[in-house]
């Protein structure tokens, strides 16, 4: 750096550095610390994003299988297989409750908690109705469609957010 | 301690204003609504012996029952049940449609 400075100033700069080397080293150290902090913050954010993406992926997988089970409830109810209806409804109910409690605070799911709670409640009512001696098919199908619509809306929202992020 | 009467009155007002989306469940005479991302309301009518009872319950996101109020505790629960039923089954829309149909000249 000194080579670039005109010769008459080189000695003065040298002296200045000798006198102030401590300050120069402090400023240099501070700059390095700020740089390292920024890199560490970026790495932490990237790790958090990756963790959230993985959580959302897990939630999505569970919800997609819940959508399949929900559709099956309608088919089994129509054919009078009430024991299977009860089992499937309990499965979907558990999935909805798990999703809300485990991932409910994630940004992708925050706006969907009402829908998941609603789907869970509909599944609870289907499971209870399925144990009756003569279950009300029309009411079960209506509740199943209502829950199915809510679950599909949540899955759609997560997929949309994933697409927007990528 | 919070008074449950205030809660029921607040729910009545919110239902009247259409702020609570009540839906029928798979069980007869049972209606549900979820809101705030945390709570689920359940309003039901059932028979115990010769008596007809209305009951409002509040659940958290884990499905635990936080509150259960019967019409014998707070009489407004019966009104809330009736309003939730009207909203969920779209009774007002049905009546409006029926009246329109009656008013139209027969073809």
The sign one gets for the Cα dihedral A98, A104, A108, A113 is positive
Residue B37 and residue A127 in contact, taking contact as beta carbons nearer than 8 Å: no
> Cα(A102)–Cα(A96) distance, rounded to whole angstroms?
10
| A 99-118 residues with CB < 8 A to B | 100-101, 104, 110-111, 113-115, 117-118
Mean pLDDT (whole number) for B23-40: 93
> Cα(A123)–Cα(A114) distance, rounded to whole angstroms?
14
Mean pLDDT (whole number) for A44-72: 90
CA angle B63, B66, B70 (to 5 degrees): 110
- Pairwise pLDDT comparison (B71 vs B106), residue with the higher score: B71
Mean pLDDT (whole number) for A5-29: 85
The residue among B87, B81, B78, B80 whose CA lies nearest residue B21 is B87
Q: How confident is the model at residue A18 (pLDDT cuts 50, 70, 90)?
A: confident
The residue among B76, B34, B86 whose CA lies nearest residue B56 is B76
Percent of chain B clearing pLDDT 90 (strictly above):
78
Mean pLDDT (whole number) for A79-83: 96
Mean pLDDT (whole number) for B6-11: 93
pTM confidence score: 0.79
| B 16-35 residues with CB < 8 A to A | 23-28, 30, 32-35
What's the mean pLDDT when you consider all of chain B? Answer: 92
Q: How confident is the model at residue A51 (pLDDT cuts 50, 70, 90)?
A: confident
- Report how far apart, in Å, the C-alpha atoms of B50 and of each of A22, B27, B46, B47, B53 are: 93, 20, 10, 7, 10
Q: How confident is the model at residue B107 (pLDDT cuts 50, 70, 90)?
A: low
- The token pair that represents A112 in the structure block: 């969907």
Mean pLDDT (whole number) for B43-67: 93
Q: Which of B26, B35, B59 sits opposite A143 (nearest CB)?
A: B26
């Amino acid at each position: 750096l000194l080579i670039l400075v005109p010769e008459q100033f080189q000695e003065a700069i040298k002296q200045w550095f000798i006198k102030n080397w401590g300050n120069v080293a402090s400023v240099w150290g501070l700059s390095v610390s700020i740089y390292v902090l920024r890199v560490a913050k970026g790495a932490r954010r990237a790790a958090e994003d990756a963790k959230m993406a993985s959580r959302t992926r897990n939630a999505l997988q569970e919800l997609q299988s819940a959508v399949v089970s929900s559709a099956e409830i309608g088919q089994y109810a129509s054919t009078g297989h009430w024991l299977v209806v009860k089992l499937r409804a309990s499965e979907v109910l558990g999935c909805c409750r798990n999703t809300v409690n485990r991932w409910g605070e994630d940004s992708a799911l925050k706006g969907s908690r009402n829908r998941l709670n609603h789907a869970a409640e509909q599944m609870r009512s289907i499971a209870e109705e399925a144990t009756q001696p003569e279950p009300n098919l029309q009411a079960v199908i209506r509740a199943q469609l209502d829950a199915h619509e809510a679950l599909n809306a949540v899955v759609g929202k997560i997929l949309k957010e994933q697409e927007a992020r990528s | 301690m919070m008074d449950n009467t205030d809660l029921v009155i607040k729910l009545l007002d919110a239902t009247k204003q259409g702020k609570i989306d009540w839906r029928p469940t798979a069980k007869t005479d049972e209606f549900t609504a979820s809101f705030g991302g945390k709570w689920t309301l359940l309003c039901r009518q059932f028979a115990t012996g010769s008596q007809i009872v209305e009951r409002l319950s509040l659940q958290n996101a884990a499905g635990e029952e936080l509150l259960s109020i019967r019409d014998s505790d707070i009489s407004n629960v019966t009104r809330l049940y009736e309003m939730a039923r009207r909203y969920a089954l779209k009774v007002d829309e049905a009546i409006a449609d029926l009246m329109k149909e009656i008013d139209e000249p027969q073809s």
